[in-house]
Amino acid sequence: MLLITWRLGMLHGKILYIGSKAGTSLHRAEALRRSGYDVVHISPYEDLPKHWALWLSRFGGPGLDGIVARSLKRQIAQQRFPIALVDSGDVVGPKALRHIRQVASKTANYCQDNPYGDPPPERRRWTLFRRAAPGYDLLVTPRRENADVLVQKLTGKQPMQVWFSADEVAHQPQSLTKAETAEWASDVIFAGAWMPGRDAFMAKLVEAGLPLKIYGLRWERSPDFERIRSAVQFRFLNGADYAKAIQCSKVALVLVNGANSDLHTTRSTEIPAIGAAMCAPRTIHHANLYRDGDEALFFDNADECIAQCRRLLADVDLRERVASGGRHRTFQNRTYNEDLMKSIVDRLSDLPEVRA
């Protein structure tokens, strides 16, 4: 009875949400609002010095924790909250988290990256996070291989594992003008940053004559850049442009990030939600989320990816069936932000208030 009363109170109470005011972090804050929560959204990055990201990634960000702690104290002032949710938490160190715990009865962290590896990718970027992580009441992480073991090793806590999620508003089919459709039209699209290994894969697709457009950052750094230059669009997709580009493609590719131990990604949920036919690596997670051949097409290597893309390009009925089936499946899977955020709040609500 007490738990039911606490949850009902939460629908009318405030949630302190600490995270970026852009991108998917903003999507998740808005999802909480759509779900009936009164959200106070504060950015931990607001008062950081100009080159803080470089300082963090190269040296671990000494001094940033104190700056963030003072910034949060100023922004929060005298407010108090039953719950605080920290998104990412890359600049939230022990001092900042200590203040958050002073103003919120329970705290949770949701990080889409993988700071729990030993060592983590971008290891110095996660220095502050790793120092603070044991202090959260709940740690939420996307499903990854050995995620439970790694989180428990770092924090002594069992994590809540979730699917990556799309957004109910940002990632849905839009009514586009003819001009927008023409601007963003593509046969095969990949939207994502360059990282080692991806370029050689993409080069095989380009050299096989696949009509591919690549959007994202850092592709010019690739040692195989000349092999893929014709496909690179030199344009970063963000917000509405990203959704338009996916929607106007015939086939949208997914590649997983091996450095993060990913077996699915945000693209795995966003692409079907937007309504495009998805071609993705054959992983355990993708197989759990979609039926191969009906809701997505899977591949094991570049040659099979080329063949699957050609199948989709040549067969309009197949392409439309896969796109429609994939979108329908996202609702069955409940891989959307509102479901994600409500599940985090509910799990946090179930935890006892235990503070040292």
pLDDT on residue 355: 62
Q: For 189-198, what is the mean pLDDT? A: 94
Could you tell me what percent of the chain has a pLDDT over 90? 89
The tens digit of pLDDT for each residue in 171-184 reads: 999 999 999 999 99
Give the β-pairing of 160-162 and 249-253. Answer: unpaired
Q: Are 251 and 279 within 8 A, CB to CB?
A: yes
Superfamily of domain 2-165+336-350 in CATH is Glycogen Phosphorylase B; (3.40.50.2000)
Residue 8 has a pLDDT of 43
Q: Tokens in use for 126?
A: 């996660």
All structural domains of the chain with their residue ranges: 2-165+336-350, 178-333
In this predicted structure, the answer to whether residue 271 has a pLDDT above a threshold of 70 is yes
**Joined tokens for residue 297:** 């097409």
2-165+336-350 and 178-333 agree in CATH topology: yes
More confident residue, 352 or 111: 111
What's the confidence (pLDDT) of residue 356? 57
Instruction: Kindly give, in sequence order, each residue whose CB lies less than 8 Å from that of residue 124, ignoring residues fewer than 6 positions away.
Output: 56, 57, 58, 59, 60, 61
Predicted confidence (pLDDT) at residue 12 exceeds the cutoff of 80:
no
Taking the complete model, does pTM exceed 0.75, yes or no? yes
Whole-number pLDDT of residue 118: 79
Q: What integer is the mean pLDDT of 331-356?
A: 92
Res. 160: pLDDT tops 80? yes
Give start and end residues of each alpha helix (H) in 77-146: 94-103, 127-132
Matching CATH number, 178-333, of 3.40.50.720, 3.40.720.10, 3.40.50.2000, 3.20.20.70: 3.40.50.2000
